[in-house]
Chain A
Amino acid sequence: MTKRKALAAALLACSAFAAPAAAQSSRVQIKGELVDTWCSVTGIMFALGTAHHQCAVWCAVGGIPVSIKDKDGNYFMVLRIEEAESNSANPRYVKIQSHEVSVDGELIERDGVKYLFVTKVLDDQGVVNLTHADNGIQPFGN
């Protein structure tokens, strides 16, 4: 076997058996508002702060993913908060909807989504984004 053929065979064997590349992760600190991912991203209604708090609770209970939206408009889909193993309709997520938080965590970006695994909630200001005077109660007014 020539050197070139041996090299090609070795490369082929490596590519055939290699495990899928592990997603790269990085440590981050994120500050922003806990939002319902669907309503906020799609813009189907006004979906921030007090005006949307009730709807954000409905959606979190309904199992729609929760994200942190930062001041630059980035969305970080939260898949873990500290020790909470479940991330769908988990009361831990539901009870902090619309809160302004600062978190430390692990970020994994893949196929257009920034997934966030929160290691520690550093600060929780509660609901501070007072949007109801201009936007009422979304989406039904009550």
Chain B
Amino acid sequence: MSRIAIAAAFVSAALAAAPLRAAEAWGIEHEKTVVITGRVVDLVCALKGDCPPDCGAGKRQLGLVTPEGQLRAMVKGPVEFAGPVRDLLPFCGKSVQIDGLIIENPAITLVMIQNLRGKTDQPYEWAGAFSKDWEARNGKADEWFRADPLVKEVIGADGVYGIKGLVPPPLAPAAAK
């Protein structure tokens, strides 16, 4: 076996041994990369017993209840400015495993999902369902968050500062390009 073939064999063995996905650290204070397995729940249902069908069908914030009984709020996905409700919704009431970040800030504990899977023998999938769902409803856009109809309505009414009539100065010519 040539040196190149041996090196290639080592590389493929290393790749095979590595997990298919691993959460990316963001360097946030109180952050840890984490793998959490738990049952997907509607947070309101878990806390108050008010349980509409299908975990609220995408209109409710979702979380995981771990086998130890901890309730974890799943607040962020990997898509810019978007949460993970669409990724978790198909698993309502079922077990799912996520990898991502847990932020154990003394003021509040939050979880960001980066990847998830329904069974531990399946590969992880990137938690990007928000983009697919948004594009199905609105079409493609470079920046969904500027193109969204509700964003346009709210920012159009009150401006970027949230105060009607208070507008930013015009962009300098170089920045306006």
Residue in A57, A67, A117 whose CB lies within 8 Å of B154: A57
Beta-carbon contact of A132 and B161 below 8 Å: yes
Distance in angstroms from A132 CB to nearest chain B CB is 6
Instruction: Mark interface residues in B81-123 (1 if CB within 8 Å of A CB, else 0).
Output: 1110110000000000000000111011110100000000000
Closest B residue to A129 using CB positions: B162
Q: B150 near A: Cβ within 8 Å? A: yes
Residue in B29, B47, B103, B163 whose CB lies within 8 Å of A79: B47
Q: B2 near A: Cβ within 8 Å? A: no
CB-defined contacts of B75 to chain A, threshold 8 Å: 37-38, 64-65
Closest B residue to A132 using CB positions: B161
Beta-carbon contact of B28 and A88 below 8 Å: no
Beta-carbon contact of B43 and A127 below 8 Å: no
Beta-carbon contact of B82 and A63 below 8 Å: yes
Q: A87 near B: Cβ within 8 Å? A: yes
Check A41/B103 contact, CB under 8 A, given A75-B108, A97-B162, A127-B162. yes
Beta-carbon contact of B82 and A62 below 8 Å: yes
Beta-carbon contact of B83 and A142 below 8 Å: no
Instruction: Mark interface residues in A31-70 (1 if CB within 8 Å of B CB, else 0).
Output: 0000001100111100000110111011101111101000
Beta-carbon contact of B83 and A127 below 8 Å: no
CB-defined contacts of B168 to chain A, threshold 8 Å: 132, 137, 142
Q: B9 near A: Cβ within 8 Å? A: no
Contacting B at CB under 8 A, from A108-122, are 108, 110-115, 117
Closest B residue to A20 using CB positions: B69
- When chains A and B are docked, how far (Å) is the Cα of A51 from the Cα of B82? 19
Beta-carbon contact of B104 and A112 below 8 Å: yes
Q: Contacts A61-B81, A62-B83, A63-B85 given; 19 further ones with Cβ under 8 A?
A: A38-B76, A38-B110, A43-B28, A50-B162, A54-B161, A63-B83, A65-B75, A73-B107, A79-B44, A88-B56, A88-B59, A88-B83, A110-B47, A111-B109, A112-B109, A113-B109, A113-B110, A126-B162, A141-B175
Residues of A within 8 A of B (CB): 20, 23, 37-38, 41-44, 50-51, 53-55, 57-59, 61-65, 67, 73-75, 77, 79-80, 85-91, 94-95, 97-99, 108, 110-115, 117, 126-127, 132, 137, 141-142
